[in-house]
Amino acid sequence: MTWYKKLKEYFPQEEMKSQEHFEVLLNNESKNYYLDEGNNHILLYAERDKFIFIDYLYVIGNVRGNGIGKQLLDKLKLKGKPIFLEVEPANETEEDTQRRLKFYKREGFEHASSVHYKKTSPVTEEEVELEILYWSPDPALMEHDVLKGMQDVYRELHTYKDEELYGRAFEPTEQALKIHVDKTNILEEIKS
């Protein structure tokens, strides 16, 4: 089974990019978009001058809890840059969302609780609301910096060639990602 099929089976359809979208990003050197695939994991990420964005991190179910995810994150942390990623909001009926949030909390990630992120799924055209988590070697990193980085990700990766690949333009960046001060911190409710 290909890495794309594995991701497609695990991640909700509304959070997926098309296979063609992945290929365009992976084949464009200026996007600095990478695939790290092993027998037990798939990691897709982009590296920028000032941060790293994890697009997808998947560890095969039967080996979860063996430290593979931690090793992958540690390898990225060694680059000394902040790391940003998107997660589904906690869902009590979805065990994986709780486990995922616990994992990132244990690994020192913070919730960018003031960043509001709502976009239209490229595949299903459903409205999707996601949360932004970040880790930084610099404790002075501000959520405003996270917002700016995620706006870059949205512009340069998520909506890259959107009309060509999906037949339509997606929401403007400032509409999809903005500051919303009244949000709850989703990691505060997670017990380690």
Show the DSSP H helices in 65-179 as ranges. Answer: 68-77, 95-106, 143-153, 162-166, 173-176
* Residue 87 structure tokens: 């997660």
Phi–psi pair at 105, nearest 5 degrees: -65, -45
Residue type, 159: T
pLDDT value of position 54: 98
pLDDT band for position 191 (cuts 50, 70, 90): low
- How far is C-alpha 32 from the chain's CA centre? 15
- The predicted-structure confidence for 136-176, as pLDDT tens digits, reads as follows 999 999 999 999 999 999 999 999 999 999 999 999 999 99
In angstroms, the CA 85 to CA 103 distance is: 13
Nearest to 85 by CA among 125, 136, 159: 136
- CA geometry: angle 149, 150, 152, nearest 5 deg: 65
* Residue 187 structure tokens: 């990691």
pLDDT value of position 175: 94
